[in-house]
Structures are given as structure tokens and as C-alpha cells.
A and B are shown apart, each in its own frame.
Chain A
Amino acid sequence: MPEKKKYDAIVIGGGHNGLVNGAYLAKAGLKVLILERRHLVGGAAITEELYPGFSFTTFSYALSLLRPEIIHELELTKHGFMPILMPSTFAPTEDGDYLILGQDKNENHHEIARHSPRDADAYDAYAHMMEQVVHAIRPLMDSIPPDITSKEPEERARMAAIGSYLADLPPGVLHDMIRLMTGSAADILEDYFESDIMQGLHASSGIIGTKVGPRSQGSGLVLLYHSFGEHDGAYGAWAFHKGGNGGFTQVLARAAQALGAEIRLESPVDHVVTKNGRATGVALTDGSEIEAKTVVSAVDPRRTFMELVDPRELPTDLVDNIRRFKFQGTSAKVNFALDANPTYPGLEGRSDQYRGFINMGPSLDYLERAFDDAKYGWYSQKPYIDGCIQSNVDPDMAPPGKAVMSCFIQYAPYHLRESDWDSERDRFGDVVQRTLEGFFPGFSDLVLHREVVTPLDIERVVGLSEGNIFAGEFLAPQMFFFRPAPGWNQYRTPIEGYYQCGSGTHPGGCVMGAPGRFASQQILTDLASKKK
């Protein structure tokens, strides 16, 4: 028996996009219920005290791509929104040198010049090129893409408008955009930089979350995507939210609740209830049913189309496209509670270099070799590590004088050849720790607690298929009007009243919120047109 309470909309999944979507729908006056499987909201953006006094960002760990409109429209500052600037980036090299980039342009120039005077000059040119491309592509990312399968004049006109928009861009900008969207990160970076450390540092953004190497075609797109964010108007800059990204999703939850949305924890959804081809509510795993005319899936495309509804109710071509949609998660996390900040030889007594990302990917070769292992079904024996000792930016993350360190690891392919992640978890953690020990001698002596998060754990705990952190790979055939499938990129599904709003929809992953926001716009537009 369905419960008596009626909702206008039910959002399945309390990750950041589910919360954003629910908040916007509630803001528009709908009675909204957000259902979260776990005991806390946030999805892959959570903070947990896994060791007394230490707050771990188990999965997602930094903020940049969040759309600024969401901050304002949902009034997040009233609920504790606080993106703390990460003022530096630290990139150690394998021979004990390093590159530190900070907030002063000219100081950066001198620092890069230690490695290559040519690169020091090229850095400004590279940054300007990226800014121009990002600025040009923003209007496309910040709107719902047209449906390329549609014959409707309006959709055709929107396609034509994109063509005109691109044609009106300065030719150099369009060319660079295509270079980035189709080429490899290495191709672009070698155009600008000659030093290993500058190539390696920037190429790292081209592989994060994706099963590509820096020399793979397609890594340029990943590099571009990661540059799409901003911190207070500074394109490509990252921040660390107060209390980690779990702190951020708690802010979102408070904002959603303040707007009237109801959040129900530990309420796993079994399936979407449909009647005559339209959604009428959801059934929970405990057998109870809740009715709503609008059901929004904030989970990934595989679960949205293959698990929450019966694929036999869907068009075959959509089912086929979702079947072929690549997840192939390849990232892991290893997080540490540390007795103190680690020491970098030559920088003893200093910790200011730890106020941002610590990029352990010192050259293209280093990254590409790490990828080589993944190509053949194994995890990197010398992985790329994006470290972040967040307690240096937000001291509340660890007890005074102690440190909490998040390490994003690549590559760790979901499918292992001749083994499985439950068997490899500890050995993998050891490989990561050994790599850290290589950069920071004495690192292991500082470790108070270690958390190893494999792609399998990401899938089990968060529900992201194959542990893909973006809810689907950032590959050209899975982006823009193809995300998650041609014809179904406008947040609708073939089942009337059933929508999708997760990172598997346009624009994609990262803690961006745009999918949740656009989906709410589509839903509200559809509801309004029905009323007419």
C-alpha cells in the first residue's frame, strides 16, 4: 500500500545533484522528497570521522566546477557555504626537486624558470589559451544541449545556433578548442612546455577519473573539463570547502530543507513504479511505496535505465546505448590520518607548500607508465597521486598539530586481471604508501590510520557503476548531446514523469551541480507546458 503522504516529486539519491535538483524543485513550490540509501546524504561527496578527530573526505575532495548560479539561487552562503582558497600547488619531482606554484604571477615565473626559462614564459600563454577556450565553451556547457535526434524546428534551430556561435569565435580559439576536445593532453602541453614537471603537472588534469593516459587521444577533453571551474572568478582554480566536500553537501541539504524539501535517509529505492508508460512513484526495498507524479533519478545511467526500471519498457536503441556506455572506473582513494605534516627533503620545517594539491605525477612518462599497468588490467605499481593535506587549509579537519591527507590514486582499474579488489586492497594500499614514502621519506612513520578505497568500494558504497567517479567516462561519444545517450540528453526518459539528473547527464561529473539544476529546469518546463 502506498503511504498516504503525497509528493509532487521524488528524487532518488541524495548525492550533490540529487540535493541540487530537489532544492530547485522545492524552490519552485513542489512538494519534494529526496530518498537516500545511506545514513548520510552526499553520495560521493561526504566527510566522515573514520579515526577520532580526523575528518576524511572518503571520495571527492575539492571544489571548482560548482556552478556559481547555484550558490546564489539556492542561497548557499546562508547555510554555511565556505570555499576556502587553496593558495598553492606543490609538485615534487623524482629527483628531490619540486615546483611550487602560488598566487603571485611573477614569483611563479621565477619558480618555473628554475626548471625551464622557456616554460616560465609559455605558462602565461598556456593559461591565457585555456581561459579563452573555457570562456568560449562556457555558454555551451551552461545550457541544456539540443536533442540531435529531433526533427523539431526548435531543436534544429538550436543546433544551427551552436554552429553559428562556434563559427563566430576567433579562429584561434576554435582551433584550440578542437585540439583540446579531440587530442591528447600531451600534444597540447608539448606545444607549450619542455620541462617534465610542467608537462606532468598539467597533464595530470587530463587523466583524472578517466581511463586514458596523457598520450591517449581524449585526455585533452578531460584536461579541458577540469579547467572549466573557477574559484571566485579565477578560472581553473580550486578550493577546499569547509569540512570537506561532505561539508558542502551538508550545506546543500540544509538549503534544500530550508526550501521545503524533505530528506529521508536509509531509504533505498528498489524500483520506479510505472503505470501505462508513466511513472507513478517509487517502491523501496522494504516493499513500501511512495507516490509522486515526477520521479527523478540522481543515480548513474546504468542504474537509471537498467535497474530502476525494466529495460524492456525502454526503446532498444537506448538500452543498447546504455549497455555500451563506458564506466570502467579507474580511480581509487587512499586517505591517511597523520601524526604531523610529512617532511619534504630540502623543505624541512615548512608546510606552506601543503596548502593545495600535492601533485605526484612529475612527468608525462611517469603518468604514461602508470597507465601502462592499467591497460593490461592491473593497478599502477608507481601510481599517479593527487594528494591534499586538507588540515592545512581547514585546521578543523584534524586535531591541532596533526594532519589528514586525502590521496586520489590512478590507475586502479575496476576490472583486475586474475584477481579482485577484495584480495588486492591492502597490497594496493601498500603500493600507494610506498610511493608516498618515495617522495616523503619517513611518511609511513606518521601514519595513524589508513583508509583504502578501491573502485569496487566506490561502487559498493556510493553506488557508482564500476566505481566511475563521473558516473560515466568523459569520452567524446559520451558528452554533450550524447550524454548519456542521443535523444535522451535533456534529462527526460522514455517513461513519462521519470527524469534523470545525475552526473551521467550533461555536463557531467565533478561537484558541479549543473545536471541537477538543468534537470529541474526541464522538469519545471514540462510541468508548466502540461498545465496549459
Chain B
Amino acid sequence: MIRETPFHPRTSAANETGLWSHWSGYLATDRYQMSDKFEYFAIRNAAAVIDTSPLYKYRIAGRDAERFLAGVLARDIRKCRPGQAHYTVWCDDDGWVVEDGVILRHSDDEFLLTAAEPNLAYLRDLLGRLEVTIDDVSDDYGALALQGPHSREILRQLSPEMEGIGYFHLTPAKIGQAAVTISRTGYTGDLGYEIWVGRDDALSVWDALLEVAAPYGTIPAGQTALLITRIEAGLVLIDVDFYSARYAWNDEQRTTPIELGLGWMLRDLESDGRPFIGRKAIEREMKHGTSRWRTVGITVDWEDWNRVYGERGLIPPKDHTPEHGGMMIYDDNVERIGYTPSFVYSPMMQRHIGIARVRPEHAAPGSEVGLELTIDHRYDMVKAQVTRLPFYNPPRKTS
């Protein structure tokens, strides 16, 4: 049976389209109204609420929790203090990315790890003799993201506790009578928060939040709006931009953190002396420079885009619906040098943009590449430029 998130009575009332998609076994809304682009602009110009409850959530607790996670996660969890959160990845022995997720550190010995895929057995099998418990609490909590420039102004009226929390920090708080955790995290690349609330209090939190937020133009936003913003923010998505090493069939499908553009997580690798899964392989990759890819942005040349469509007598499309596929990227000699798994017309950038994977020698920002399009069932090539990620990075995100 497909499940309903704790917010379902409200999301289903708000969903005017009758359309649902499935996300980790739960009903998720693609768009609440006929215009997903209007929801997108709510995120960028006002605020939007996004039900992110379907993520898997694991409570990792106990005396050895930090030690355990320090050995599992590629990013050093010891640097994540109580009241902070980390975006992190975990790898296999060969240094391939298994998955990514956000981990919240509630206290010295209690963490909440989110993941897109089930990881309970995988994590438990790594416990050994450590004094740690890992529980799947996915169903116990609802997660509601409030994202957008007005999010802070709205939330502070409900929970003065959150007033000063910094980027990737969190705090226990109350919304009405409900005890919640508010973290300054999100998947939009904007100022935003996520509210973690016990299942039974989910509806009261939704109601209290929307009552305060609606006059600020806040509306619920669906998956499509979220997925546009995450491309603009240069945030990768599992099963689109990379695949879990656990289920990949060959190395072509596998990726290292460095290839995925997450090398910054390993910045202190030399000094931290910490053993973790995949460390040796990652060190080898660094030492020998064996990374096969760089994850970069690409921006399509607007004049050339108009040209290729204009030559076919077509109105050049500017579609904000994300395309998850694999458009090929070529160099001057029509050698294939990469592909773009995520592609969209960005209303904020007014350009067609993509998260791309290219060979390291073509990864310098400004490098000219060719992007293969299919127009009227025929291949065509449009000029594009390698661009630094993220495309969109407003100062308010971290200020």
C-alpha cells in the first residue's frame, strides 16, 4: 500500500491537480496547482512549504554514535557539533558514493540521518561491538520545509527560538504546543528551514505555520518547483546525477565524492587521520589524480539556442520543467566529453542550465562545449559554456 505522509490531510486538500507521484513509498505532490512555475516563484520571492516527509530517517544514538559515524561517513562528523547539521556522503571500500544525506546532531550522542533510500541493514551491519542503536524512525516524523526569502520572518513569529540559527544549524523549538526541531537546511539553495515534527503533531504544525505564513504569499510547493530550484542551487540528486554504488552494475554508473563535486567534504583529510570506509581509495584517487569526471554547471548559449530552433521554424522553447536524462556533451572535435543528467530552463537565470559531468580537462569555468539536442527527431548541437556551481546563490541563503 502506498503510504500517506503525516501532512496528507492538508496536502491532499491543497492539491488541486489530482496528480500524485510516488516518493519512497509515499504519495508526493508534483504541483498543487496548475502552475508549478508560480510555486517556484513562491520559493524564490516569498516562501513555500514543501512536504519532505518521505525521506528515510534514522535515529543513531548511544555512547559510540560519533565514533561510529566518523567511520562510516566521508565527511568528518566530529566537526559537526550538537546543534549543527552536515550534508554528507557515505562511500564503499572502493571510494564510490553509496548515498548522500543530511545528518542533524541533536546532542553529543544522538543524531538523525536522512537518506533517499533504505540504509538500515547497511548501517547496522557496520556496527560491530560499538554501543550504538540505529532505529528507523521514518514514519514517526513529518518533515516540512519552509523555503524562501520570507521564511525567517514567518518562523520567528511562531518560534522565537529559531531567530539566530545559522546556516546548517538546528534548534529544538515549539510551534504551538508541539515540540519540533527546526534546522536551517533545505534543497532549494535559498534561505530556508526544515521543521521536524512528531507524526501526531504534524497537522497542528501545518495549520499554525500556514496561518502565519499565508499573508506573506506562502503557498505549498510541489516536487517540480523543488527540482527546478535544486538544479539552480547545483545540488545533486540520487538516481539522476549519480547512482548508489551498492546497486550499480559497473563503474561507469559509480561515482566518487570528488567526481560528484563534493571534494570539499574531504578538505581536512590529510590532518584528520580518521579511518572511514573508502578512505584509502579516495586517498589514491587524490594522489594519482584518477578522477574521471568533474561535476560542473553548463549554461547554454542563448543565441545559439534560438538559432537551432529558429532554423527549424520553431519557437525556441524555454521550459522550466526539469529534464532528467543524459544529453551528451562534446568538445570541438565532436569527441564525447560528458553528459548532463539534469537540465532545465531557469526562470531566475533566464538561461537553459544543467548539472553536467565532464572530463576534468574540460571542467574549467568558461570552457566551450557542445550540447546535443534532439529537435524534430534529429540531432543538433548547441553551444554551451562550463559554469561554476551553484548557478543561483543568494547571500540570504547563509546570512
A: residues with CB less than 8 A from B are: 68, 71-72, 76-77, 81-85, 87-88, 102-104, 107, 131, 135, 232-235, 242, 352, 355, 391-396, 400-401
- In the bound assembly, the distance between CA atoms of A49 and B33 in angstroms comes to 32
Q: With A135-B315, A395-B217 given, is the CB distance from A85 to B38 under 8 Å?
A: yes
Interface size class of B (residues with CB under 8 A): 20 to 34
Q: Report Cα–Cα, A525/B345, bound state, in Å.
A: 34
When C-beta atoms are compared, the residue in chain B nearest to A243 turns out to be: B45
Residue of A nearest to B313 (CB): A135
Stretch in contact with the other chain, from B94-102, B104-112, B283-291, B346-354: B346-354
Q: How far is the CB of B17 from chain A (nearest CB, A)?
A: 8
Q: Given the complex of chains A and B, what is the CA–CA distance between A493 and B41 in angstroms?
A: 44
A5 to chain B minimum Cβ distance, whole angstroms, is 34
20 pairs, A vs B, C-beta closer than 8 Å = A68-B350, A72-B302, A76-B350, A81-B350, A82-B45, A83-B347, A85-B35, A85-B41, A87-B33, A88-B35, A102-B35, A103-B35, A103-B38, A107-B34, A233-B316, A233-B318, A242-B45, A395-B150, A400-B215, A401-B215
Cβ-defined contact, A235 with B348, below 8 A: no
Q: How far is the CB of A412 from chain B (nearest CB, A)?
A: 32
> Do A82 and B315 have beta carbons less than 8 Å apart?
no
B395 lies within 8 A of chain A by Cβ: no
- The residues of B that contact A232 with a CB separation of less than 8 Å are 318, 320, 345, 347, 350
The 4 A-B residue pairs whose C-beta atoms are closest, nearest first, are: A395-B217, A233-B318, A400-B215, A87-B35
How far apart sit A72 and B385, CA to CA, in the bound complex (Å)? 14
- Complex alpha-carbon distance, A52 and B317, angstroms: 41
Q: Which residues of A have CB within 8 Å of B46?
A: 394-396
Q: Is B388 an interface residue (CB 8 A)?
A: no
B33 touches A233 (CB 8 A): no
Q: Is the CB of A233 within 8 A of B317?
A: yes
Does B167 reach chain A (CB closer than 8 Å)? Answer: no
A131 touches B318 (CB 8 A): no
Given contacts A71-B350, A77-B348, A355-B38, 5 further A-B pairs with CB under 8 A are: A76-B350, A85-B38, A85-B41, A107-B34, A401-B215
Confirm or deny: B26 has a beta carbon within 8 angstroms of a beta carbon on chain A. no
Q: With A72-B350, A233-B316, A395-B217 known to touch, is A103 a contact of B45 (CB < 8 Å)?
A: no
Q: In residues 347-381 of chain B, which contact A (Cβ within 8 Å)?
A: 347-351
Q: Write the nearest CB–CB distance from A179 to chain B, whole angstroms.
A: 21
**Nearest chain B residue, comparing its CB with the CB of A139:** B310
Q: How many A-B residue pairs have CB under 8 A?
A: 73
Q: Majority SS of interface residues in chain A?
A: mixed
Residues of A within 8 A of B319 (CB): 233
B37 within 8 A of A: yes
Within 8 Å CB of A352, what residues of B? 33
CA distance A529 to B81 in the complex (A): 67
Chain B residues in the interface with A (C-beta under 8 A): 33-35, 37-38, 41, 44-46, 150, 215-217, 302-303, 315-320, 345, 347-351
> Which single member of B37, B217, B349, B350 contacts A87 (CB below 8 Å)?
B37
Q: How far is the CA of A391 from the CA of B217 in the complex (A)?
A: 8
Residues of A within 8 A of B347 (CB): 83, 85, 232
* Smallest CB separation, A395 vs chain B (Å): 3
Is B349 a contact of A77 with CB atoms below 8 Å?
A: yes
Contact of B34 among A104, A235, A393 (CB under 8 A): A104
Task: Say how far A133's CB is from chain B's closest CB, in angstroms.
Answer: 13
Complex CA distance for A88 and B347, rounded to whole angstroms: 18
* Nearest CB in chain A to that of B346: its residue: A77
- The residue of chain B having its C-beta at the shortest distance from the C-beta of A134 within the complex is B315
Contact between B45 and A131 (Cβ–Cβ < 8 Å)?
no
Question: How far is A104 from B215 in the complex, measured between Cα atoms in Å?
Answer: 26
Residue of A nearest to B150 (CB): A395
By the criterion CB–CB under 8 Å, are B315 and A131 in contact?
yes
Query: Are B302's CB and A68's CB within 8 A?
Result: yes
Residues B315 and A235 in contact, CB atoms below 8 Å apart = yes
Q: Return chain A residues, CB-CB under 8 Å to B45.
A: 82, 84, 242, 394-396
B318 to A, closest residue via Cβ: A233
A179–B215 alpha-carbon span in the complex (Å):
46
Q: Are A102 and B41 in contact (CB under 8 A)?
A: no
List, in ascending order, chain B residues with CB within 8 A of A400's CB. 215-216
Q: CA–CA, A233 to B345, complex, Å? A: 10
Q: B216: which A residues are within 8 A, CB to CB? A: 395, 400
Contacts of A242 in B (CB 8 A): 45
**Cβ–Cβ contact A85 & B37, under 8 A:** yes
Shortest Cβ distance from residue A125 to the other chain B in the assembled complex, whole angstroms: 17
State A76–B348 Cα separation when bound (angstroms). 10
Name the A residues within 8 Å of B215 (CB-CB): 395, 400-401
Asked if A233 contacts B37 (CB within 8 A), the reply is no
| Alpha-carbon separation in the docked complex, A435 to B38 (Å) | 30
Residues of chain A within 8 A (CB-CB) of B33 are 87, 352
**Closest-CB distance, A89 to chain B (whole angstroms):** 12
Q: Is the beta-carbon distance between B41 and A84 smaller than 8 angstroms?
A: yes
A132 to B33, CA, bound (A): 29
B18 to chain A, nearest CB (A): 11
Q: What is the CB-to-nearest-CB distance from A392 to chain B, in angstroms, rounded to a whole number?
A: 7
Instruction: For the complex, give the distance between the alpha carbons of A309 and B321 in Å.
Output: 53
Chain B residue with the shortest CB-CB distance to A105: B34
